[in-house]
Amino acid sequence: MLIKVKSNHKIAKSSNDHIFPHGTKDESRNLRFNSKIYSYFNHFSVKKQSVRILDLGCAGGGFVQDCLNDGYVAVGLEGSDFCLKNKYPSWIKNYKKFFFIQDITKKFLLLESTSHKALEKRDASVIEGGVN
């Protein structure tokens, strides 16, 4: 599976979080929260392979990384490059695979496919996001 984010607005310049990170420094995990989400999917007999989890403002990426480790497809978008610059393990391992720097208040496309060619042609599953 290949994932790509297309946008002209990577870092959220309208927020000071990229200059003075607050929540971005957090790599917290809440396994009980994950367990509740998984039980929801299990209740409706949804298979892991068909689940897509999108974490907007993923900070250090703990939630996304736990979902990936548990066999789900999860993507984290974060408006700050703090975690990448400070070499957070989840970000180093999965940057531009499952973690992306993106201002979610601006228009962006999230594409998913099984081939690079399909991603470039936008012949892929597409989520359009952003407020502006």
Predicted TM-score (pTM) of the model is 0.87
Residue pLDDT, tens place only, 20-65? 666 666 677 889 999 999 999 988 888 888 899 999 989 899 999 9
DSSP string, the chain: -EEEEE-S--S-TTSGGGTS-SGGG-----HHHHHHHHHHHHHTT--GGG-EEEEET-TT-HHHHHHHHTT-EEEEEES--HHHHTT-HHHHHHBTTTEEE--TTS-EEEEEES-HHHHHTT-SEEEEE---
pLDDT of residue 124: 72
pLDDT of residue 91: 94
Residue pLDDT, tens place only, 74-126? 999 998 888 899 899 999 999 999 999 999 888 999 999 888 888 777 777 88
